[in-house]
C-alpha cells in the first residue's frame, strides 16, 4: 500500500472508538468463556490492538500485564491517551511491531487476544506462528471473518474472495485450530450491532469531516467509496457472514 493511502486510512480510523467490528460485552463474553485462572496476574498480548478498544477492557477486567501490539504508532498514541483517561495505563505496554515479527519469548503469555486483525497475515499463519508464545494451557482468543452458510450469493462470495480469500466457515476455522495443536473450547458470533452501531455507523459519521480535512482529494474519495461499498454489502448480506470469536487452548 502506498504511503499516502496509509496516512489517509490512519486519518479516517484513528479518532474512531474501534477499527473493526466488536464490542465491550463481546470481549467480556470471550474472557468468561476462556475460563481464565485469576489466581495470579496474567500476561496478555493484544495483537493488532488499534486504538485499544479491547485493550482497555482487558485492563479494566483483569489483574494483568498487557502488551498492546500494532504496527501503526499513531494508533498506539491514541491507545495511550485513552488508557490514561481510563486510569489503566500502568497495566499496558504499547509495542509498535508487525504481527508477523513479534519479539516475544517462547511460552511468555497466558492469553493472546486478537480482535479483527489476524486477517492481515491470514488466520492460519497468525494462529500457527503465535502458538509458541503461549504457555502450555494458555488461551487464544481470536476473531475472524466467517461464513455463516455453506451457500452464498455470488456477489458476496466474489467480493470477499477478492478482499480476503481465507474467509471460510467456522467448521474450517476450527479444523485449522485443531491441526495446529489448539483445543477449540468455545465459539460465538458477533451480533450485528458490533458491526453497525459499534463500527460502521461511527465511521460513516466521520466521512464528511475526513473528506473536508483532506480537501476532497481523489484518494480520500476512493477510500470513502470503498468503505461505503463494504457497509452496503454488510447491510444487504449480513445473514451470510460475521466475525466468529474463537477461543482455544494451547495443548
Ligand atoms: N483490534 C482493534 C483493531 C482492529 S483493525 C479493534 O478491534 O478495534 C486491525 C488492526 O491491525 C489495525 O489497528 C492495524 O493497524 C493493525 N495491523 C494491520 N496489519 C498489521 C501487522 N502486520 N502487524 C501489526 N498490526 C497490524
Tell me the CA distances in angstroms from 47 to 109, 160, 167, 204, 208, one per residue in order.
12, 23, 19, 25, 30
Backbone Cα Rg of the chain: 18
Instruction: Please tell me the pTM assigned to this model.
Output: 0.98
Answer yes or no: is the C-beta of 36 below 6 A from any ligand 1 atom: no
Answer yes or no: is the C-beta of 244 below 6 A from any ligand 1 atom: no
Rounded mean pLDDT of the chain? 98
25: phi then psi, degrees, rounded to nearest 5? -60, -35
241: phi then psi, degrees, rounded to nearest 5? -155, 155
Pocket test for ligand 1, best of 8, 12, 17, 19 (most atoms within 8 A of CB): 19
- Tell me the percentage of the chain whose pLDDT exceeds 70: 100
Instruction: Summarize the confidence of residues 53-78 as an average pLDDT.
Output: 98
Answer yes or no: is the C-beta of 116 below 6 A from any ligand 1 atom: yes
Q: Compute, in angstroms, the gap from residue 61 CA to the centroid of ligand 1.
A: 22
Answer yes or no: is the C-beta of 120 below 6 A from any ligand 1 atom: yes
Answer yes or no: is the C-beta of 98 below 6 A from any ligand 1 atom: yes
Using 50, 70 and 90 to split pLDDT, how confident is the model at 14? very high
pLDDT in tens, 193-235: 999 999 999 999 999 999 999 999 999 999 999 999 999 999 9
pLDDT in tens, 119-151: 999 999 999 999 999 999 999 999 999 999 999
Instruction: Summarize the confidence of residues 59-82 as an average pLDDT.
Output: 98
Q: Which three cell numbers stand for residue 248?
A: 482455544
Using 50, 70 and 90 to split pLDDT, how confident is the model at 2? confident
- Tell me the percentage of the chain whose pLDDT exceeds 90: 98
Amino acid at each position: 500500500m502506498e504511503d499516502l493511502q496509509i496516512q489517509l486510512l490512519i486519518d479516517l480510523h484513528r479518532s474512531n472508538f474501534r477499527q473493526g467490528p466488536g464490542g465491550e460485552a463481546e470481549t467480556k463474553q470471550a474472557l468468561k468463556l476462556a475460563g481464565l485462572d485469576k489466581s495470579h496476574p496474567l500476561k496478555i498480548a493484544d495483537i493488532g490492538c488499534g486504538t485499544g478498544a479491547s485493550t482497555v477492557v482487558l485492563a479494566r477486567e483483569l489483574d494483568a500485564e498487557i502488551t498492546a501490539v500494532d504496527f501503526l504508532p499513531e494508533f498506539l498514541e491514541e491507545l495511550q491517551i485513552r488508557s490514561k483517561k481510563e486510569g489503566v495505563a500502568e497495566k499496558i505496554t504499547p509495542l509498535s511491531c508487525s504481527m508477523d515479527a513479534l519479539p516475544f519469548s517462547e511460552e511468555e503469555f497466558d492469553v493472546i487476544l486478537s480482535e479483527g486483525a489476524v486477517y492481515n497475515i491470514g488466520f492460519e499463519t497468525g494462529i500457527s506462528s503465535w502458538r509458541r508464545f503461549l504457555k502450555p494451557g494458555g488461551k487464544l482468543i481470536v476473531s475472524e471473518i466467517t461464513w455463516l452458510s455453506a451457500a452464498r450469493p455470488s456477489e458476496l462470495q466474489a467480493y470477499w474472495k477478492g478482499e480476503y480469500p481465507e474467509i471460510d466457515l467456522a467448521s474450517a476455522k476450527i479444523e485449522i485450530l485443531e491441526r495446529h495443536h489448539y483445543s477449540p473450547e468455545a465459539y460465538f458470533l458477533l451480533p450485528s450491532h458490533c458491526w453497525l452501531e459499534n463500527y460502521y455507523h461511527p465511521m460513516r459519521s466521520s466521512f464528511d469531516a475526513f473528506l473536508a480535512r483532506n480537501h476532497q482529494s481523489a484518494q480520500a474519495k476512493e477510500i470513502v467509496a470503498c468503505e461505503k461499498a463494504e457497509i452496503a454489502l454488510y447491510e444487504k448480506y449480513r445473514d451470510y457472514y460475521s466475525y466468529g470469536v474463537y477461543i482455544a487452548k494451547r495443548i
